[in-house]
Structure 1
Amino acid sequence: MSNFSGASATRQRGWSLAAYRHILRKRLGRQADRDIKCLAEKTWDIAPGETTVSPPAFYLPGQLERVTGWEGQRFYPYVHPARTMEAGVVTQQGPTRGYLLKDVWLIDGALYKDDASHWLSLKPSRFPGVNVQHEIDRAAIYCTQNGNTWFGTWLMENCPTYALAREEGVPVTTAPSLRYPLFTQGPAYERWLDMQPLRTRGAYLREVVLFDDVSNNRSRHQRYQAMGEKLLSHVEHRPHPGVFLLRGSAGDLRLMRNELEVAAYLQSQHGFRVVDPLQTDVPGIVAACAGAKVVAGVEGSQLVHGVNVLQPGGALLTLQPPNRFVSYYKYLTDRDHQHFGFVVGSPQGDGFSIDIGELEQTLALFPR
């Protein structure tokens, strides 16, 4: 520890070369990087694991044959989505775990202790900072690298973990990336969810609690449902047919050429509300999504606005580009006792289009 005086919980400032010592140790000693959780003083199960059995997705014959690429080719689950969409997939959901560590440095979006590290943000530059803004007696970190990169992951995964962090210490997060404009809605969600984290990219943590909170077990389901109830408490709502959340060209490009045509069809024929999240504030988004029986739109982060408040028995309909099918929301709807359906589009230029007849038929598959 360098240039610190006193042991105040969060008010001290100083500097540290912890990041540079870690870099030198790796380069000169040619040591493999270790995850910092292996140095925990204590580990424990916060919530138990469980075995789950998946319900089927709703889709028309021939849809999966159109899929030419999927996110699992780079990320979990590394398999073609066909298996994920079947009924009866048995999954062992792991426990939610806590890890207590002592004397840890948080520098420029990463945690350091001895020869171990743990990234919370995208890897910093070759020359990480040395400033340390705070000294904290007991911190609890709920943010993750993916959550600090993608808005949807932050809202669906990091925010539920905040409820655990609040019980263990000072909730700490590194500043979220503004890579996507949707992240500008983060502060409004934090206010409505009663989240008051300490934001810092440099701190000395006398004690810190980390979490394994990636399994879709009952604890995560309950915390996510509690988030939805908090959001609903801010708006008046009653059941309505559905909401279509526009994606446009925001975020990673998934350009649906006839998105506005599909939105207009659902609005005129089914009474759906149409919302552009980039042009609507959080109160307006939540009010429009609250009570929706169906949440629909191009697969992407913008759908989380509707999924947040989708009730058990409701349905999520994702419109999937054929070259980038993503199964992620299926795991959430399975967990939260909702229905999942999809339509795979056809290539059109640098984007894709959705057949409205297939959309209509898929809607009809959902239980009434």
Structure 2
Amino acid sequence: MSLIKKRIRFSPIGYTKYLKGLEQTHTMFRQGKVLESLASKSWEIAPGNSTTSKKAFFLDNQFERITRTAYTDNPQLMMQGGIVINHEPTKAYLLKNIWMINGSVYKGMHRFLLHHRNKLSNQKNYLPPVIVDTEIKNASVYSSYDGNEFFGLWLTDDCTNYKLAASEGTPITTNIFTSPHMFEYEKLLGMNPYRTNGAYIKDAVFIDDDWGNNSKKQELFDQNKQMLLSKFSGSSHSGVFILRRNSGKTRIMLNEIEIAERLRDQYGFKIVDVTKHTVQEIIAACIGAKTIVGIEGSHLMHGLMVLEPGASVLTLQPPSRFCGVLKITTDMQNLNYGFVVGIQKEEDFYVNFEEVERTLALLRF
């Protein structure tokens, strides 16, 4: 265990933050080149490799409904599959004498954001302290900007990187939380990070894989999955509809409850609600599921964390926010991915139940 001690230190961040032209700001995400330029040492933890994407399951005329996308440049190309994807190696970078203050990491005049500014109070964002009382000799920063912004990426990226970080030093993260479910997952996955919003770190290791899913990351994700599966039991069943309601980034599906209840009544689906149920309740329902269904979003990752290879995920997509990010994980885990694009109604959308049924039939071959 690395040494953590209480020691009063003067931090220059409170002053240099206001000196224009001295500070370069980055997000703590896909910053390998910048980290390497600042590192006293860098090394490869795991090699890269290539995979070929799977074809998604969908009905004709779905793409015509899409009016905007999110984090998906070309939905047609991504969903048709057959794309060779080169996954970057996982690398580690040792940076000396850094400051971790109020959701940011500082090295010299470089600032790396661990959180979007909307998760920081104005006082934290604009008035960093000049005194910190924690000093860490060896630490490893495993959390990322996107992991702290999106719960699903926290599960796929940050929770896998934690395992690597724990072997390099004290795993550290902030006291700013992405989701109330985080603590439950940390307990289930044996994660015990040191949380701080104000620390000086003598030697800090940063881990970066450029958002790739190389073989090592898949292995680590599988380890987390097996850890969860070992704590729950259940038999095979039709599936689970995971209610999103208005959680996370707002996208309201007008007939979400209706679709969930019809799948329950006609096909034996279970229904869970991320705004009401605990992680243990959600996972207990998802164990053994053949299909997970719900509005596209991070909440579906609860199901992906325990689905067995060959199972399916059906996302119900807002036409004004089509997103294929979850398919990156389903491809990595040998899961089938399907989608239905909804129909816009003013600011919200609804989904045709017949199209849900027909797409489920495709997923079941």
TM over 0.5: yes
Q: Which runs of 5+ in 2 are unaligned?
A: 27-33, 118-123
Q: Distance in 1 between the 2:301 and 2:12 partners?
A: 37
Which of 74, 80, 85 is the matching residue for 2:74?
80
Q: Distance in 2 between the 1:332 and 1:23 partners?
A: 38
Are 1:89 and 2:83 an aligned pair?
A: yes
Q: Distance in 2 between the 1:121 and 1:248 partners?
A: 24
Q: Distance in 1 between the 2:22 and 2:11 partners?
A: 19
Summarize deviations over 1:111-138 as a string: whole Å, max 9, x none: 2222222222234522112342421111
Q: For 1:240-319, what aligned pairs fall within 5 Å after superposition?
A: 240-319=237-316
Structure 1 residue aligned with 2:47: 48
Structure 1 consecutive aligned stretches of length 4 or more whose deviation exceeds 3 Å? 29-37
Q: Is the 8 A contact 1:49 1:95 kept in 2?
A: yes
Q: Is the 8 A contact 2:23 2:111 kept in 1?
A: no
Q: Distance in 1 between the 2:242 and 2:335 partners?
A: 18
Are 1:193 and 2:219 an aligned pair?
A: no
Q: Distance in 2 between the 1:32 and 1:111 partners?
A: 12
Are 1:325 and 2:322 an aligned pair?
A: yes
Which of 80, 85, 100 is the matching residue for 1:106?
100
Q: Is the 8 A contact 1:36 1:113 kept in 2?
A: no
Which one-letter code corresponds to 1:63 in the other structure?
Q
Structure 2 residue aligned with 1:143: 143
Q: Distance in 2 between the 1:32 and 1:198 partners?
A: 27
Structure 2 residue aligned with 1:153: 153
Q: For 1:163-174, what aligned pairs fall within 5 Å after superposition?
A: 163-174=163-174
Q: Which runs of 5+ in 1 are unaligned?
A: 1-7
CA deviation after TM superposition for structure 1 residue 21, in Å: 4.4
Which one-letter code corresponds to 1:137 in the other structure?
K
Summarize deviations over 1:310-366 as a string: whole Å, max 9, x none: 111111100000000011011111111111000000012321111111111101111
CA deviation after TM superposition for structure 1 residue 150, in Å: 2.5
Structure 2 residue aligned with 1:355: 352
CA deviation after TM superposition for structure 1 residue 15, in Å: 3.6
Summarize deviations over 1:83-135 as a string: whole Å, max 9, x none: 11012111111111111111111122222222222222234522112342421
CA deviation after TM superposition for structure 1 residue 37, in Å: 4.3
Seen in structure 2, the aligned counterparts of structure 1 residues 200 and 32 have a Cα distance that, compared at 3 Å, is closer
Across the two proteins, how many residue pairs are aligned to each other?
Answer: 350
Which one-letter code corresponds to 2:214 in the other structure?
N
Which one-letter code corresponds to 1:310 in the other structure?
L
Q: Distance in 2 between the 1:21 and 1:112 partners?
A: 13
Q: Is the 8 A contact 1:18 1:105 kept in 2?
A: no
CA deviation after TM superposition for structure 1 residue 264, in Å: 0.9
RMSD across aligned positions (CA)? 1.7
CA deviation after TM superposition for structure 1 residue 55, in Å: 1.1
| TM, length-normalised to structure 1 | 0.91
Q: Distance in 1 between the 2:189 and 2:329 partners?
A: 19
Seen in structure 2, the aligned counterparts of structure 1 residues 30 and 44 have a Cα distance that, compared at 3 Å, is closer
Are 1:162 and 2:177 an aligned pair?
A: no
Q: Distance in 2 between the 1:86 and 1:365 partners?
A: 15
Seen in structure 2, the aligned counterparts of structure 1 residues 120 and 36 have a Cα distance that, compared at 3 Å, is same
Summarize deviations over 1:166-218 as a string: whole Å, max 9, x none: 1111000012335xxxx112111111100000000111111110011321111
Seen in structure 2, the aligned counterparts of structure 1 residues 158 and 50 have a Cα distance that, compared at 3 Å, is same
Structure 2 residue aligned with 1:222: 219
